[in-house]
C-alpha cells in the first residue's frame, strides 16, 4: 500500500514552501470590477445538478446574442480555483463565460463526493452547452470550451461527441487516463499499474462491506525533506493562501483527493483516441515550457486534425498557468476564441 500511495501521489500531487509564492501576478481569487457574477444550476443527462458561476460583461447587451465559453477546473479542484479567474478574464473581453464544478466536486451533485467518473465529467460540459443554448443572449452556434489541467482531457472527450462545441482550448492539460496508466514520461510499469488496480478493487470491496472511504494522496497536506518537486508545486497552490479553497461542508485536509476505489475509471479513459475527428473545429493547446505535464499537450497536438496550434509559454511550469496572470497568455486565448466564435 505504501508504494501504491507514493506512485499515485506523484500523478496529481503537490509543491513549494509553507508560505505561498505570490510572484508573477499570482491572483487566483481575482475579482473583476467590470463583469457580473451569477450562481447557476442545471442538470446533466444523468439528472445530476451541475453548479457554475456565470460571468458577463456589465455592458452586455441582452437584446443581442453573444458567444460563450465554458471553463473547467483542474482535476481535484473546484471552480473557485483557476476557473473563475479564466472565466472573468475572458468575460472582460466580451464573452459570456461559465465556470463549472464537475460532478462529485464542489457544489455540483454526486455521491459519494470525489468520485472519479470521466464520462460524467465530459457530460457536464455538454450539459453546460445545453444550459447556455437556452439563454436568449447566448449565440448557441458559437459556444467554446476551455479545460484546465485534467479538464483539458474531459473537454476533448466531450467535444468528440458534441459538435456544438465550436472551439476547444486546453491549458496545462493532463491526459488523466495516460497519467494513471503510465505515469509521467511512461515511468510506471504494467506490473505497477496492475498493482494499483488490484488495490483499488480491494478498496472498492471494503467500502461495499461498510469500510471507510480511502482517498488518493492528491495534494499532500504537509511537506518534508522527501517531498518530490512536483508535489511541492501543487502544495504551493492548493495548501496555501495562494489557491487553497475548501467548499462548504468539506474537510480541508480532503480537498483535491479523489477516491482510491474509483481509479479504474481513469485507467480505462482514452480521451485522445479519435481526437482527429474533432476537425475541422479548431483546437488550441497551451502549456508551459517547464511544465511536467507538457508531454500531454504535445501528444494531443500530434494526434489532432487541422486546424490546431500548440502554444508554449516561456518560463512557465504546470501550476504557473493556473493563476499567474503575468504568464497566462490571455491575449492568445482571447484571439483564438474571437477568431473562431464569430
DSSP structure string for 98-155: EEEPPTTSTTS--SSTT---HHHHHHHHHHHHHHHHTSTTEEEEEEEEEEETTHHHHH
Residue 339: predicted pLDDT: 98
Which residues are CB-neighbours of 33 under 8 A, at least 6 positions away?
Answer: none
Largest CA distance in the chain: 59
pLDDT > 70 in the chain, percent: 95
Residue 308: predicted pLDDT: 98
Contact 85, 323 (CB under 8 A): yes
Is a pLDDT exceeding 70 seen at residue 16? no
Mean pLDDT (whole number) for 283-289: 99
Residue 10: predicted pLDDT: 46
Is a pLDDT exceeding 60 seen at residue 38? yes
Residue 26: predicted pLDDT: 98
- The whole-angstrom separation of Cα 41 and Cα 87 is 17
- The whole-angstrom separation of Cα 314 and Cα 311 is 10
Mean pLDDT of the chain: 95
- The whole-angstrom separation of Cα 273 and Cα 3 is 30
Is a pLDDT exceeding 80 seen at residue 111? yes
Is a pLDDT exceeding 90 seen at residue 88? yes
Residue 12: predicted pLDDT: 41
Count Cβ atoms below 10 Å from residue 261 Cβ, excluding itself: 25
Residue 253 three-state SS? helix
Mean pLDDT (whole number) for 197-221: 96
- The whole-angstrom separation of Cα 128 and Cα 71 is 10
Q: Report the CATH superfamily, name and number, of domain 27-192+269-340.
A: Alpha/Beta hydrolase fold, catalytic domain (3.40.50.1820)
Amino acid at each position: 500500500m505504501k508504494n501504491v500511495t507514493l506512485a499515485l501521489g506523484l500523478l496529481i500531487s503537490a509543491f513549494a514552501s509553507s508560505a505561498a509564492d505570490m510572484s508573477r501576478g499570482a491572483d487566483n481569487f481575482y475579482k473583476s470590477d467590470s463583469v457580473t457574477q451569477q450562481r447557476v444550476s442545471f442538470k446533466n443527462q444523468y439528472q445530476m445538478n451541475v453548479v457554475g458561476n456565470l460571468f458577463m460583461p456589465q455592458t452586455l447587451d441582452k437584446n443581442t446574442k453573444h458567444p460563450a465559453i465554458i471553463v473547467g477546473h483542474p482535476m481535484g479542484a473546484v471552480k473557485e480555483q483557476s476557473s473563475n479567474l479564466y472565466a472573468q478574464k475572458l468575460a472582460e473581453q466580451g464573452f459570456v463565460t461559465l465556470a463549472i464544478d464537475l460532478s462529485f466536486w464542489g457544489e455540483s451533485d454526486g455521491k459519494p463526493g470525489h468520485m472519479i467518473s470521466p464520462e460524467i465529467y465530459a457530460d457536464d460540459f455538454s450539459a453546460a452547452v445545453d444550459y447556455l443554448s437556452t439563454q436568449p443572449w447566448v449565440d448557441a452556434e458559437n459556444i467554446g470550451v476551455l479545460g484546465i489541467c485534467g479538464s483539458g482531457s474531459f473537454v476533448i472527450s466531450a467535444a468528440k461527441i458534441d459538435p456544438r462545441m465550436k472551439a476547444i482550448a486546453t491549458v496545462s492539460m493532463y491526459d488523466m487516463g495516460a497519467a494513471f496508466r503510465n505515469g509521467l514520461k511512461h515511468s510506471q510499469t504494467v506490473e505497477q499499474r496492475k498493482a494499483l488496480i488490484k488495490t483499488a478493487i480491494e478498496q472498492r470491496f471494503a467500502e461495499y462491506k461498510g469500510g471507510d472511504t480511502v482517498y488518493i494522496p492528491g495534494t499532500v497536506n504537509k511537506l518534508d525533506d522527501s517531498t518530490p518537486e512536483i508535489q511541492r508545486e501543487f502544495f504551493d497552490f492548493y495548501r496555501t493562501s495562494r489557491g487553497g479553497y475548501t467548499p462548504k461542508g468539506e474537510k480541508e485536509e480532503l480537498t483535491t483527493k479523489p477516491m482510491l476505489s474509483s481509479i479504474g475509471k481513469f485507467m480505462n479513459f482514452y480521451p485522445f483516441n479519435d481526437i482527429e475527428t474533432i476537425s475541422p473545429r479548431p483546437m488550441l493547446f497551451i502549456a508551459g515550457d517547464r511544465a511536467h505535464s507538457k508531454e500531454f499537450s504535445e501528444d494531443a497536438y500530434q494526434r489532432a486534425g487541422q486546424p490546431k496550434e500548440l502554444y508554449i509559454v516561456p518560463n512557465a511550469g504546470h501550476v504557473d498557468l493556473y493563476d499567474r496572470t503575468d504568464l497566462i497568455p490571455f491575449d492568445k486565448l482571447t484571439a483564438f476564441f474571437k477568431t473562431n466564435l464569430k
